[in-house]
Amino acid sequence: MNRYTTGNAVTLLRSGAEYFPALIAAIDGADREIWLETYIFADDDTGREVGDALIAAAARGVSVRVLVDGWGARHYLTRALERRLVTGGVDLLKYRPEVHPWHFRSHRLRRLHRKLCHVDGRIGFVGGINVIDDMNTPGHIPPRVDFAVAVRGPILVPIIQTMQRVWAIVEIAQLRSSDVPLFPDEEPAEEAGRQIAKFTIRDNLRHRRDIERAYLAGLRTAREEILIATAYFFPGVRFRRALIAAAGRGVRVTLLLQARVEYRLLHYAARALYGQLLAADIGIQEYHQSFLHAKVAVVDSQWATVGSSNIDPYSFLMSREANVFVRDRPFASELRIELMGMIEGGSRPVPPQDWANRSRIAKAVTWIAYGIVRLAMGMLRYGGDEWWRSGWPRR
């Protein structure tokens, strides 16, 4: 589950414009089975197109299993689309469907945030792209920016296993009879390329910190450059120290973060960390051209990751996530080119001096938001001292 393997083929997919045609083509070519996991399955043009492909596959005898998160389904999966999928032969399950806003419990934040698919055990998809149109964004601004990868080779083995296991767990929890094994056998996959890669998950049992540890390993080995793009950036002390240590040894560290406000509290709380990072010579670029939904990183143009995990408490401490980590210079260089293009054409730098001289009101807003988020995390008992023990970051 957490080992690098050779013999893989990993292809970068840029946003829905490249991801959905590749996904639908794989679904259309399915012979035996399709497994799909997503946080959001929206009833929009893209969601209906993917749904039609799944229904067509089921009609020709392919086993089609779709697992959606209960929270994401509540907000985006309409009853009409759900009924079409089910009557069309799709086996549809909801992960933690018990969503009651007036009954707040910490375990309800443990969502299925992974975006995974595999078809016939021969091709898989991993990334941050939900089944939703890129234009389905607040205010109908330019298309959402995100990334995914198509994978073949030995890396498919843990992808298949974890999808089967989570499906079986959900069926057991919902008292459904199941023919999916809780502990599936490992079926070997043939080599498909020359890339070295690993598939890593985060859950609340054996793999609680696997994605964070993989990130930290990449940061600690950096010698020239660290480039991170993430929609939500609110790291704990270990992650911040790793970034600051890298900058201290001469590594060029750049964070490409969201400029547009989606969730106000987290947006302003995250900005409370800017002062500490800027003081350590870490560059911060805020992407303003459209909504940034990416969760990717590149180190020294030879190590890269693409997945569903943001760098915040929700992803690192609560939800089920999945990332692919790749040790391959051509792949890492390709992703770096994309990110540098976003920086040059759609972002604005945060100047350290301007940040230090911002108004008292702006400072107060960020620190109040930071305090509220920190208090909420403590009340929910997530992270504990390991996440917060450094106290309040420098301004």
- Which residues are the active-site residues? 113, 115, 120, 293, 295, 300
Strands 195-202 and 321-327: antiparallel
Picking from 196, 214, 218, 215, the residue whose alpha carbon sits closest to that of residue 151 is 196
Q: Rounded distance, CA 28 to CA 186, Å?
A: 26
* Spatial contact of 174 and 306, defined as CB atoms under 8 Å apart: no
CA distances from 377 to 100, 118, 236 (A): 20, 35, 12
Q: Rounded distance, CA 250 to CA 268, Å?
A: 29
* Spatial contact of 312 and 234, defined as CB atoms under 8 Å apart: yes
Q: Rounded distance, CA 395 to CA 386, Å?
A: 21
Q: Rounded distance, CA 85 to CA 77, Å?
A: 11
What DSSP string describes 222-288? Answer: -SSEEEEEES-B---HHHHHHHHHHHHTT-EEEEEEE-S-SSHHHHHHHHTTHHHHHHTT-EEEEE-
Place of tokens 């086993």: 63
Q: Rounded distance, CA 257 to CA 271, Å?
A: 10
Provide CB contacts within 8 A for 361, sequence distance 6+.
none
The one-letter code for the residue type at 44 is D
Picking from 147, 161, 166, 128, the residue whose alpha carbon sits closest to that of residue 3 is 161
The one-letter code for the residue type at 312 is D
Q: Rounded distance, CA 305 to CA 296, Å?
A: 5
